[in-house]
Amino acid sequence: MAILEILEVPDPRLKQVSVPVEKFDDELRTLVSDMFETMYDAPGIGLAAIQVGVPLRVLVIDLQPDDPDAEPVACAHDGHAHHHQPTKREPQVFINPEILDPSEEQTLYQEGCLSVPEIYADVERPSRIRARWQDLDGNHHEQDMDGLMATCLQHEMDHLEGILFIDHLSRLKRQMALRKLEKLRKVA
């Protein structure tokens, strides 16, 4: 297990189009477990492989990120005292994901991105989608999604095409966001 470095704008690797996974092997399992560790550490609710420099069509999502300020909960329900995460983790892996029938209805959501730190902006995306993907064993899944899950999956799918959420903004708003990030980096 390892926490990987998250690439940030303007790293050109973030503009790469990621390629489909063909081998469902131990190397893929290690990548996914390192991606979860990196995402929980950040913390974030999603991560695409290209954000850690790997141009494969692999995403991890957990909409229940750890609250870094919360104390681990002591628990003895099975007679043995132990600690567990205060929020229940719901890790989900999406390999070679596709979006089917996006709704015409759009939703506005204030998005952020671990590769564009500390910048938040409203992005409009289809409210509901049907997603198709493979799991770590190569089995296919299909599911309807809405709410934050639909938004997050579309944000992550964009990374696979080399697109960042700021690319959905007007040129003026994108330039303002990138200048703000430059300023924040200077004081950091």
Strand order in the sheet with 92-100: 46-48, 58-61, 92-100, 129-134, 140-145
DSSP 8-state assignment for residue 171: H
- Contact letters (x/-) for Ni ion, 63-102, by CB under 5 A? ----------------------------------------
Q: Single out the residue of 63, 39, 34 nearest to residue 151, CA to CA.
A: 63
Closest CA to 94 of 18, 16, 147: 18
CB 59 → ligand GNR: shortest distance, Å? Answer: 8
State both tokens at 159.
């990374």
Q: Which of 58, 113, 121, 131 binds Ni ion (CB under 5 A)?
A: 113
Closest approach of Cβ 170 to ligand GNR, in Å? Answer: 19
Residue 152: enclosing H or E segment and its boundaries? helix 147-160
The reply to whether 156 belongs to the active site is: yes
Is residue 32 within the footprint of ligand GNR (CB under 6 A)?
A: no
Minimal CB distance residue for Ni ion: 113
Query: Which residues does the annotation mark as catalytic?
Result: 156
In the complex, which residues of this chain contact ligand GNR (CB under 6 A)? 44-48, 51, 109, 111-115, 151-152, 155-156, 159
